Amino acid sequence: MLFIRYGSRFLFVKTKDVERMKDFYTRTLDGIPLSFEEAINKGTEHCSTILLAKPKEGPLSIEDISSTIFFPHGTSVAHSEIFNQGLAHLIDSTQLGPGSIIMRSPKKGKNIISAITENYDAEEMDFVDAVFTGNRENTILSITNESLHKPIKLTATTIRPLLIRENVTVLYDQLRKDGLLYITKELDDNQWCELKINIYDAHGDYQTHYKRLIYILSQLDLGMIIGENWTRDHALSLFSVLAYQVRLLTLYSPIEIKAILKGLEYDDEGNRLVDFDLYYKNKKVSAGQLKTDTDARLKEEKGLYFREKLMEQLPEKAVEYIRRLEEK
């Protein structure tokens, strides 16, 4: 499970000719002109946000930025290509902004923020303010409960990020070692959930449903698989069936995982494909505990509801892959 990664890096470029530099980054290179917020939210750990401004004395503010470029490469490429293309005479100065780190949290991250603030020189502030307040020896730390395998809308986080007076590389190495300790503070009773998922298929197609389950766990970054084996599932009193069991260590609650499993039990037409039984502390998590925001009452209606909710969380390629598996 990915619990920490770098975010986009920021490069401020003061230039005598904003339009020519914008044209250079977007036509000669493969940058994309976007709004400041769009560029931040599109960024990943391999990208840069280039901020073009006219020359002025002192630090820049958001009002000084004439153009924002999303650049799908590091700042070293963005900087070196200025010289390689003979455009250095257009540049007044360049400056790296603060680094960016994103950390995964099971909830809003208030306990993580509190713990990190105790250990570092940190200040809570809006993301935009942090970009223009910090310098290259500072780091913006954002907390999210979304998977880190996709771009994160940093400007929409419920808790304001921390601007930490620490170099991004140094801080990343420290949080990579201690990050799980901070995350554990955010969990109920400071405990991760160890869940057992039993796969039962009356038609015996365990391989297909195992692939679907593992793929969804990976796509949504729901936790770590810590074991799997064949077992007996006691579906009825004095009667047991063979099932394949996957043991999952997760940040999510049993109810949240049950909702995802319920969506995997059904296809797009509401037909039940398989049984995914979930156990927490050796007790079965009942589907009756799941709530919907509709008047769905029948099992098929609820199954279709959670199927739709699950598909909404997945990228288009993942949805297509799941549907192909189900057609076999």
DSSP letter for each residue of 132-197: HH--TT-EEEEEESS-TTS---GGG-SSPPEEESS-HHHHHHHHHHHHHHHHHTTSGGG--EEEEE
pLDDT tens-digit series, residues 132-148:
999 999 999 999 888 88
Question: Does residue 237 surpass a pLDDT of 60?
Answer: no
Contact 116, 162 (CB under 8 A): yes
The CATH number given to 193-327 is: 3.30.70
The maximal CA–CA distance of the chain, rounded, in angstroms, is 84
Predicted confidence (pLDDT) at residue 225 exceeds the cutoff of 70: yes
pLDDT of residue 162: 95
* Amino acid at position 148, single letter: L
Show the tokens assigned to 48: 């840069």
Averaged pLDDT for residues 224-242: 80
In whole angstroms, give the CA distance from residue 79 to residue 199: 53
State the pLDDT confidence band at 174, using cuts at 50, 70 and 90: very high
> For residue 72, what are the contacts with CB-CB under 8 A and spacing of at least 6?
30, 31, 46, 47
- Report the pLDDT value the prediction gives residue 206, as an integer from 0 to 100: 94
Averaged pLDDT, 1-6: 89
pTM score of the predicted model? 0.84
Cite the residue boundaries of each domain of the chain with CATH code 3.30.70.
Answer: 193-327
Beta bridge partners of 243: 231
> What is the number of other CB atoms lying within 10 angstroms of the CB of residue 223?
19
Q: How confident is the model at residue 166 (pLDDT cuts 50, 70, 90)?
A: very high
| 99 neighbors 9 (Cβ within 8 angstroms) | yes
The model's pLDDT over 13-28, given as tens digits with 9 standing for 90+, comes to 999 999 999 999 999 9
Rounded to 5 degrees, what are φ and ψ at 112? Answer: -65, -45
